[in-house]
Amino acid sequence: PGSSPCRSVIMVAKAVGVELNKKLLNLQAGEHLKPEFLKINPQHTIPTLVDNGFALWESRAILVYLVEKYGKTDSLYPKCPKKRALINQRLYFDMGTLYQSFANYYYPQVFAKAPADPEAFKKIEAAFEFLNTFLEGQTYVAGDSLTVADIALLASVSTFEVAKFDISKYDNVSRWYENAKKVTPGWDENWAGCLE
């Protein structure tokens, strides 16, 4: 529940009507390093999806897979190459810039009791500036309707909120965030995971 990438998968599954059989792993106890899990995912990361024997990890790949396999429409991940490319760019931005900035700043403090690094905090602010720019005049991050990019970024931004990062300084992000919370299936479960 505390993992933004896991919560994004939960929300997309809800959006496409897939009932997940969730398994909670205790990472601190090393459950993700047990032989039975390594057999499924040798990279031993979460989330990992097993769908009728097909194993897949990396949350953003799982989001796309769920929509392509189970979506009744392609609205969350349209077939148009240009729309899809923009969604992919935003997914990679989430993975490599926004969520990575969270991990670089907060994880050392939480897991290693390290002091806050002001340089890492500047990278969070820069990431939010980029997101704010992407959202200029836009209701959604990649087009004119909700997509998997919005859902992935919603999971990340909500994690920043629960960590007490001040999102209100970014007008476009704040406006998008308020709307995304209302229109995204599974938001309540996402927020409950954040609070947990």
Residue-wise pLDDT tens digits, 1-14: 999 999 999 999 99
Active site residue 75: no
11 touches 190 (CB < 8 A): yes
Tell me what pLDDT residue 142 has. Answer: 97
Pick the CATH number of 81-187 from 3.30.300.10, 1.20.1050.10, 1.20.1250.20, 3.60.110.10: 1.20.1050.10
Provide the pLDDT confidence category of residue 157 given band limits of 50, 70 and 90: very high
E strands, 3-84, in order: 48-51, 54-57
- Cis bond leading into 47, ω under 30°? yes
What are 72-126's pLDDT values in tens digits?
A: 999 999 999 999 999 999 999 999 999 999 999 999 999 999 999 999 999 999 9
Provide the pLDDT confidence category of residue 70 given band limits of 50, 70 and 90: very high
Tell me what pLDDT residue 105 has. Answer: 98
Alpha-carbon distance 43 to 45, whole Å?
Answer: 6
Nearest to 132 by CA among 101, 99, 169, 107: 169
Residue of 3, 59, 156, 158 with catalytic role: 3
Boundaries of CATH 1.20.1050.10 in the chain?
81-187
Q: Which CATH class is domain 4-70?
A: alpha beta
Boundaries of CATH 3.40.30.10 in the chain?
4-70
The secondary element (H helix, E strand) that includes residue 194 is helix 187-195
19 touches 12 (CB < 8 A): no
Tell me what pLDDT residue 179 has. Answer: 98
Tell me what pLDDT residue 103 has. Answer: 97
156 touches 99 (CB < 8 A): yes
Residue 193 Cα distances to 6, 54, 173, 196, angstroms: 10, 26, 21, 5
What are 20-67's pLDDT values in tens digits?
A: 999 999 998 999 999 999 999 999 999 999 999 999 999 999 999 999
Q: pTM for the complete prediction?
A: 0.96
Tell me what pLDDT residue 150 has. Answer: 98
